[in-house]
Chains A and B, each alone.
Chain A
Amino acid sequence: MADNQNNSAALTVKNLSVYFGKNEAVKNVSLDIAARAVTAIIGPSGCGKSTFLRAINRMHELNPDARMEGEIKLFGDDIYSKNVQPVVVRRRVGMVFQKSNPFPTMSINENVTVGLRLNGIRDKKILSERTEQSLRMAALWDEVKDRLSAPAISLSGGQQQRLCIARALAVQPEVLLMDEPASALDPLATSKIEDLILTLKKDYTIVIVTHNMQQAARASDFTAFFYMGELVEFGPTTKIFTSPANKRTEDYVTGRFG
């Protein structure tokens, strides 16, 4: 499996360790993340799954005490190479956060295009095309097309989160990271986000951190189980949930701890 998966890997992570000061949050993790598929990262709180996710677009560097070892390659490019700016990595690897965070000073369409506009794209035609395209991909277009200039914060919580997804898609990243994107939403909004994830994987590589076992089982193709900063088990989601190789994985996915 490892061989043919390597060919279609979007991300190759080798011996990744992330430290915050003296605390080792991610310990020597190696795995390949398949392109155009959904990879779920599961594990109890504090197991390093969010840190792992943030290392993929170098967001962990916002913490001045953070330090990493190892290697992450994005379609063959070393994202930690000395001549690679974090800004460039983040344009290729988008992120959606647990708490929806549309910019409160901006309208719906301004939120969608902000990543383009603040990176120097001014062409109105491109911006409006990209607005519609991104909102359609985020399954929000029909709900907001008549009020694109309304304040983004006038949307409901679930709509705000889909707007954040549209905003991340508008800059056309290659990988989309999602840090518990539905954990603050009601079940209906959650199922919309899950449907969306399944649609988006046709075009995007998605890595999603989740606390919700059912969500991982429903929405992902591969699952990685993290525990105490270590990658305990990684494999196809069906295998992780039906016949895990590791006892701790089994205990976790069956709800015996965590």
Chain B
Amino acid sequence: MTAPNHNWRQFKDVLMRVITFACAILVVTPLVLVFYHLLKEGFTSINWAFFTQLPKPVGEIGGGMANAIAGTFILLGEAALIGVPIGVLGGVYLSEYGGSKLNWWIRFAADILNGVPSITWGIVVYGLLVAPHLPGFSALAGGVVLGLMMIPLVMRTTEEVLQLVPAGYREASLALGIAKWRTIVQIVIRTALKGIVTGVLLALARVAGETAPLMFTAFGNLGWARKLTEPIAALPLQIFEYAKSPYDDWRRQAWAGALVLLLLVLAINIGVRFLTRDRFKAKI
């Protein structure tokens, strides 16, 4: 009944399945390894002091990364203030207005910007704000560099989710005599809001771990930054400083800092999952 090479075909089929499955497992293996290693090395160093205390001077055991954790949140807040409005409104322009030729160039430029190495962003902002002492190494410069990196990311994701809003909703609104800008704000953006928030969160998660651009801008600080014009600590910077130090206690804390940073990014991603799951439910 069966063709003579039936078994060979079946074997190839199984082989293909096994190979692709192995590759799929390989893809998630690093996450498991990273998480396991960070938990193993960092978990014991995470305690109340880690979240509440400043770094101790070299030689003294203990202290924490309170300033770096706060610094990361401050930098992310500044980045969001810069990146979200510009990115979202730029995405609105691409999706809702604009001639196709100009849009093509803007999209092209945004995609290039998304691929620019982060250290390049650092050098650019260093040249713009830090070197001319406007205001030099500072929380402000750090926020600006992360914000600039967010803009093309947020713009492209905003454009994409706005394009997913069916044209019928725009038409229905315009046919009611509702002005275009109101249609965009109240109908189109509102329909796509979860998608936009998702894009913003992913962009924040992406820049939260940036280290290189902050070296040229936020610089790091072993104490608190009192003003936005002073250098400020950030988790990735502190991890970098501690990890390359010769002191065991600092290196332990570097592991803990890395674990906290990973958990932060993970928390953002879980938030995104939650939002998107809800979005698909609402669509059905």
Point out residues on A near B: beta carbons under 8 Å: 57, 59, 62, 86-92, 94-95, 97, 99, 101, 103-105, 114-115, 118-119, 153, 164, 167-168, 171
Report how far A167 CA is from B132 CA in the complex, Å.
58
| Cβ contacts under 8 Å, B171 to chain A | 59, 62, 95, 97, 101
B175 contacts A118, C-beta separation under 8 Å = no
**Cβ contacts B190-205/A at 8 Å (1 or 0 each):** 1101000000000000
Given contacts A101-B166, A101-B172, contact A119 B190 (CB under 8 A): no
10 more CB-based (< 8 A) A-B contacts, given A95-B175, A103-B172, A118-B179: A87-B178, A97-B168, A97-B172, A99-B168, A101-B171, A103-B169, A104-B169, A104-B191, A164-B172, A168-B176
Chain A's closest residue to B167 (CB) is A62
User: CB-CB < 8 A to A87: which residues of B?
Assistant: 177-179
B174 within 8 A of A: yes
- Bound: A236/B125 CA distance, A: 73
Q: How far is the CB of B248 from chain A (nearest CB, A)?
A: 55
Are B177 and A115 in touch, CB under 8 angstroms?
A: yes
**Does B163 make an interface contact (CB < 8 A)?**
no
- Nearest chain-B residue to A177 (Cβ)? B175
Task: Give the Cβ gap from B140 to chain A, nearest Cβ, in Å.
Answer: 37
Mark interface residues in B85-128 (1 if CB within 8 Å of A CB, else 0).
Answer: 00000000000000000000000000000000000000000000
Measured between C-beta atoms, what is the minimum distance from A237 to chain B in Å? Answer: 26
Residues of A within 8 A of B187 (CB): 103
Q: Does B186 contact A (CB under 8 A)?
A: yes
Question: How far apart sit A99 and B169, CA to CA, in the bound complex (Å)?
Answer: 10
For the complex of A and B, the 5 pairs showing the least CB-CB separation, nearest first, are A91-B177, A115-B176, A95-B175, A101-B168, A90-B177
Cβ A118 vs Cβ B168 within 8 A: no
Interface residues on B, range: 20 to 34
A167 CA to B190 CA, complexed, in Å? 18
Cβ-defined contact, A59 with B174, below 8 A? yes
B282 & A104 in contact (Cβ 8 Å cutoff):
yes
Contact check, A119 vs B177: say whether CB atoms are below 8 A apart: yes
A-B contact pairs, 13 of them (CB 8 A): A59-B174, A59-B175, A91-B176, A95-B175, A97-B171, A103-B169, A105-B193, A115-B177, A115-B178, A153-B282, A168-B176, A171-B176, A171-B177
A104 to B169, CA, bound (A): 9
A4 CB to closest chain B CB (Å) equals: 31
One of B166, B175, B177, B191 near A105 (C-beta < 8 A): B191
A94–B176 touching, CB < 8 Å: yes
Residues from chain B with Cβ under 8 Å of A168 in the complex:
175-176
How far apart sit A94 and B178, CA to CA, in the bound complex (Å)?
Answer: 11
A105, A164, A168: most-surrounded residue (chain B CB, <10 A): A105
Name which residue of chain B comes closest to A98, CB basis.
B168
Chain B contacts for A101, CB-based, 8 A: 166, 168-169, 171-172
- Interchain CB contact (< 8 A) of B191 among A91, A103, A167: A103
A115 to B183, alpha carbons, bound, how many Å?
10
Interface residues of B in 270-284 (CB under 8 A from A): 282-283
Contact yes or no, B191 A118, CB < 8 A: no
| A90 with B169: CB separation less than 8 A | no
The CA-CA distance from A99 to B173 in the complex, in Å, is: 14
Shortest C-beta distance, B11 to chain A (Å), equals 49
- Min CB–CB distance B191 → chain A (angstroms): 6
- How distant is the Cα of A171 from the Cα of B177 in the complex, in angstroms? 9
Cα distance, A235 to B176, chains bound together (Å): 30
Q: Please name all residues of chain B whose beta carbon is closer than 8 Å to the beta carbon of A167 when the two chains form the complex.
A: 172, 176
Interfacial chain A residues near B173, Cβ < 8 Å: 103, 114, 118
Q: In the complex, A94 Cα to B172 Cα: how many Å?
A: 9
Inter-chain CA distance A153–B212, complex, in Å, is 48
| Residues of chain B with a CB closer than 8 A to A57's CB | 175
Contact B175 A114 (CB under 8 A): no
B182 within 8 A of A: yes
With most chain A CB atoms within 10 A of its CB, the pick from B166, B177, B186, B283 is B177
A258 to chain B, nearest CB (A): 25
How far in angstroms is the closest Cβ of chain A from B275? Answer: 14
Residue of B nearest to A88 (CB): B177
Q: Which residues of B contact A171 (CB under 8 A)?
A: 176-177
Q: Nearest residue in A to B99 (C-beta to C-beta)?
A: A64
Residues of A within 8 A of B182 (CB): 118
CB distance from B67 to the nearest CB of A (A): 41
Which of B175, B177, B182 has most chain A Cβ within 10 Å?
A: B175
